[in-house]
Amino acid sequence: MNNFRMKRVFLLSLTSLLILFVALFYISLSGPLEKSSLAQTMLIELYKKDPKVQRDTASGTLKMSPEQFAYETLSFLNNYKHLPISALAFSAFLHVVSLIVMSRNKNISGSLFMCAAILSSFLIIPALLQVYLGYLLLKKDTSPITAAKS
């Protein structure tokens, strides 16, 4: 693999890893979702705009207040907040292992980047960068310079 492609892979890999760590720390340190007034306000607005809720409100059969809906939804999401944190942490671990292995075996490194992309798929930019990095590492080098050497 030519030197320019390796530099590009390395720089894109560091960019993706930086985004992963920033997202990981942001999600980890964001605190309980129930206390987020922005999230509560958004959920209350979505709840009030729901056509079924509007019909139930008009008929007087509404069973749950918007505030109660927002609180219960956010507490449910807060209970499962560890899942994306774990997925991001394992994706970052695979990313670092892939960087270490890259100089020895590009196929394994490319496959590890693809696996890391699956784990970080809810973050669009790192997942796309990891798929692209995996593609660059798994792609056969067909440039005329390296083809003449072999």
User: What local confidence, expressed as pLDDT, does residue 114 receive?
Assistant: 93
- Whether residue 89 contacts residue 120, with contact meaning beta carbons closer than 8 Å, is answered with no
- CB proximity list for 111: less than 8 A, separation 6 or greater: 134, 138
Instruction: Please tell me which residue, 122 or 46, carries the higher pLDDT value.
Output: 46
Does the structure show a pLDDT above 90 at 140? Answer: no
* Local structure of 124: helix, strand or coil: helix
- Whether residue 15 contacts residue 93, with contact meaning beta carbons closer than 8 Å, is answered with no
Residue range 106-110: mean pLDDT, rounded:
91
Determine what percent of the chain is predicted with pLDDT higher than 70.
93
Question: What does the longest C-alpha to C-alpha distance in the chain come to?
Answer: 80
- Measure the CA–CA gap between 147 and 62, rounded to whole angstroms: 71
The count of other CB atoms within 10 Å of the CB of residue 84 is 17
- Measure the CA–CA gap between 130 and 121, rounded to whole angstroms: 10
Residue 57: pLDDT band (50, 70, 90) is confident
Does the structure show a pLDDT above 70 at 146? Answer: no
Going 99 to 101 to 102 to 107, the CA torsion angle's sign is: negative
pTM for the whole structure? 0.74
